[in-house]
Amino acid sequence: MDYDAIGAVLFIAALVTSIFLALRRKARPLVYITDYQCGLRYVNGAFVDVVGPGNYRVDGTNKQITIMDLRPRLIVVERIFYQDAIQSHSVISIGAELSVSDAYLAATKLKDQTVDSIAIVRDALRSTVSRSIVSHSAEARISTAAEIQKAARTDLEKFGMTLSNLEITEAWSQPVEVRMTSGAN
């Protein structure tokens, strides 16, 4: 075989390879992950790793990347009525930011990260405040908010979520003297 023939064969092979690569590239969808997201990579349905920002081409047949948004989700839990540690009728409202701390846990344990987490926060809130006595001072609000946040974080941790910037937007408790008067009547 002379050089001309070898050259022609190599050229045709290069063309065929480029067409093959172009078709393969087109068949594999592009996943673009920004710096406020992360991707969960699955191969044959099994979790492999968490991938960071960048562009990824995934084989649609056996590889998959699920994107998880790591930005905070804003929640308000309003008008929770409860009885505090001295059985006074009380009400509390909070505002907070929910975010994903462990993408794998959040994706596998929760169907809807926000809605399911709100239920957990609500439980943590109710159990924390019902053990304490409501005070209207700013300092007391801050310490109660910290307590609620800590309790909610402990519960949310198991599901790969976390809570931050919790603020009590409404807190009220029936004064003891009023309760005693109405009780006497």
Give whichever of 24 and 154 is closer to another protein, judged by the CB atom.
Answer: 24
Footprint on residues 15-54 left by another protein (CB under 8 A):
15, 17-18, 21, 30, 32-36, 52-54
Q: How far apart are CA 48 and CA 123, in angstroms?
A: 33
* CB 151 within 8 Å of CB 66: no
By the rule CB under 8 A, 14 interacts with another protein: yes
The reply on whether position 60 binds another protein by CB under 8 A is no
Q: What are phi and psi of 96, to 5 degrees?
A: -160, 175
Distance CA 82, CA 66 (A): 40
- Minimum Å gap between C-beta 63 and another protein is 16
Residues touching another protein: how many (CB under 8 A)? 44
CB 161 within 8 A of CB 101: yes
Is residue 167 part of the contact set for another protein (CB under 8 A)?
yes
* Nearest to 114, CA basis, from 97, 130, 129: 97
Binding interface with another protein (CB under 8 A): 2-4, 6-8, 10-11, 14-15, 17-18, 21, 30, 32-36, 52-55, 69, 71-74, 76, 78-79, 91, 93, 95, 97, 136, 167, 169-172, 174-175, 178
